[in-house]
Chain A
Amino acid sequence: MNQSLRLLIIILPILVIGFFAKVLLVDDDIHFSNFESKNFPSFELNDLNGDPVNARSLDGIKIVNVWASWCITCLVEHPFLTKLAEKNIQIIGLNYKDSDFKANAWLERHGNPYLLSIYDPRGDLAFDLGVTGAPESYLIVNNQIVGHIQGEMNQTKWETIFLPLINEAKQGS
């Protein structure tokens, strides 16, 4: 009895320290892979050309990327998004709290990887999506949000979070 108690006294703190080490040291992005899926919020907005955006634009498998011309990290992730677009990944932009003039100039200057960009100058749709700042990316499968990445999209996040979900969606359809 005494022996097992001693063992417990040694093991218990190790378990507690191990638990906290895991919670504190594991990369923050990982928990977004357990994202609870929900419907894409309804919206009535135009794209950057001034044309109304059709809800059918979100059919199939789409990435919705929140960006703005004032956002420095958006410029950092831009080459990676361009690479994805070249591989026929369909990306829809959500231009967040920006001016259409500046946004269009930004796209002209840096290239446009988006099928279209939804123009959300007040951030209404972004608020309903739970956007905390730009950039953020959502994986949409037939109008359902199934994945979410906060901050810069890169190769690691793409491969660990979005790609497995895309493969799963493709197998399901």
Chain B
Amino acid sequence: MTIKRCLISFFLFILSTPAFNQMVYEFADPMQEKRFYSLISEIRCPKCTSGSIASSDVPVSRDLKNKVYELVLDGSSDKEIKQYVSERFGNFSNYRPALEGSNYILWFGPFIFLAIILAIFFIKRRV
């Protein structure tokens, strides 16, 4: 009987350990909660090949999520938070790069490429 109880306690403990890994972010304002989850899905995990900090559990992503949480509660705007992160981790950290400088190639490159292909296609048809 005692062994059975011990085993049950042991398995319950093992099953409960993932709960310790999950950081729970609590918000009084649902709008802030919405902003928080939208922001962490737009900030790239600096340690990963690809993926946002929302989908990553590496220590630096955890630190970033905690910081974003803190800044959202402090009343910082989305723009201020993204700037705060990119000042430290570079423009690379933003999944939606700003429309400036060399980023123009990133935003318009595919359309220019498509236009060239279409131009070739139509010129070729005419010939």
Contacts and interface: CB of A to CB of B under 8 A. Distances in A.
Interface of B: 46-47, 58-60, 63, 67, 87-90, 113, 116, 120, 123-124, 127
Given A5-B123, A9-B120, A127 B63 contact: yes
A15 to B, nearest CB: 11
A128 B127 contact: no
A61 B85 CA distance: 27
A36 to B, nearest CB: 8
A171 B116 CA distance: 47
Contact of B89 (A1, A9, A130): A130
A16 B117 CA distance: 12
B127 A132 contact: no
A12 to B, nearest CB: 7
Closest 8 CB pairs of A and B: A130-B88, A132-B46, A130-B89, A132-B47, A132-B60, A2-B127, A127-B63, A5-B124
Contacts of B90: 36, 130
B116 A128 contact: no
B115 to A, nearest CB: 13
Interface in A94-137: 97, 123, 127-133
Nearest to B89: A130
A158 to B, nearest CB: 22
15 contacts: A5-B124, A8-B120, A9-B120, A12-B116, A12-B120, A16-B113, A36-B90, A38-B87, A97-B59, A129-B88, A130-B88, A130-B90, A131-B60, A132-B89, A133-B60
Given A5-B123, A8-B120, A127-B88, 12 more contacts: A5-B127, A9-B120, A12-B116, A36-B90, A38-B87, A123-B63, A127-B67, A130-B88, A131-B60, A132-B60, A133-B47, A133-B58
Contacts of B124: 5
B112 to A, nearest CB: 12
Interface centre among B47, B58, B60 (most CB of A within 10 A): B60
A100 B68 CA distance: 28
A123 B120 CA distance: 55
B97 to A, nearest CB: 15
A132 B113 CA distance: 35
B61 to A, nearest CB: 9
Nearest to B113: A16
A8 B123 CA distance: 12
Contacts of B60: 131-133
Nearest to A123: B63
